[in-house]
Amino acid sequence: MMRRHALHQGMRVLLAGMAGLATGGGRAQGPHAHGGKVWLRVRNDSDTPFEHVWQGWPQRGTDVDLGPLQPGQTSRWHGFPAELPHYRKTRIQLPDRQVTDVIDSAFPAGRKALAPGYYTLAYSGSGSPGLQLRLIEDPGPR
C-alpha cells in the first residue's frame, strides 16, 4: 500500500512537471523563447550615475521607464515589438544633460533592425563626445 501511494505521488509530480514544460511554466524556455519580441536592458558601464533611463516609442505606448542606474547597474528586461521604431531610442538623464541615443548604427553584421531575441545596451564614457554604446547579443534571462 505504501509503495502504491509513493508511485501515485511520483506520477503526479512527473505529470505536473510535464504540464509546466508544455505551457512554458511562466518562464522563458531556452535561448529562443523570446516570443517574437526584441528584449532589451540597459547597463551603465560609465563612471557617471544615470539619473533616469527611458526606452521605446511613447507615441505608440511601447515606451518604458527604467528608472535610475548607478555605475555598474543593469536594468530589468523589457520586451518590445520586433519593429525598429518601437526600440530604436534610449533616453538617458545625466547629472548635467539628457542624451537621446538612436541605436540604428549599432546593429550587428550591418543589419537594418534587430532580430527577435535578447540584447544588452551597454553605455560607457561620460565626457566628450558623450556616451558610447556597445550592443551585446545576450542569451536572455536565467
Q: For cell 535610475, what's the residue? A: 68
For residues 77 and 56, state if they share a domain.
yes
Instruction: Mark whether 45 and 93 lie in a shared domain.
Output: yes
Q: 58 with 4, same domain?
A: no
Residues 10 and 66 occupy one common structural domain:
no
pLDDT digits (tens, 9 = 90+) for 50-83: 999 999 888 888 889 999 999 999 999 999 998 8
**CATH classification of the domain holding 87:** 2.60.40.2890
Which pLDDT belongs to residue 107? 74
Pairing of strands 117-124, 37-44: parallel
Rounded to a whole number, what is the largest CA-CA distance in the chain? 77
Claim to verify: residue 64 and residue 3 sit in the same structural domain: no
120 vs 25, residue with greater confidence: 120
How far, in Å, are 22, 53, 132 from residue 67 at the CA level?
A: 35, 5, 20
pLDDT for 2 equals 46
Whether residues 68 and 25 fall in one domain: no
The pLDDT value recorded for residue 75 is: 97
Q: How many CB atoms lie within 10 A of CB 102?
A: 10
Please check whether residues 37 and 25 belong to one and the same domain: no
Do 37 and 82 lie in a common domain?
A: yes
Mean pLDDT (the chain) is 77
Q: Are residues 15 and 35 in the same domain?
A: no
Mark whether 14 and 69 lie in a shared domain.
no
The CA distance from 81 to 133, in Å, is 21
Reduce the secondary structure of 4-53 to three states and give it as a string.
HHHHHHHHHHHHHHHHHHHHHHHCCCCCCCCCCEEEEEEEECCCCCEEEE
Q: Cis ω on the peptide bond leading into residue 129 (within 30° of 0)?
A: yes
pLDDT at 48 over 90: yes
Q: Say yes or no: 20 and 41 in one domain.
A: no
Residue 6 has pLDDT above 60, yes or no: no
Output the pLDDT for position 51.
96
Q: Are residues 18 and 36 in the same domain?
A: no
Q: Which domain holds residue 20?
A: 1-29
pLDDT computed for residue 84 by the predictor: 85
Question: Looking at the 3D structure of the chain, how many domains does it have?
Answer: 2
pLDDT tens figures, 8-40: 444 443 333 333 333 333 334 434 467 899 999
Q: What pTM value is reported for the model?
A: 0.72
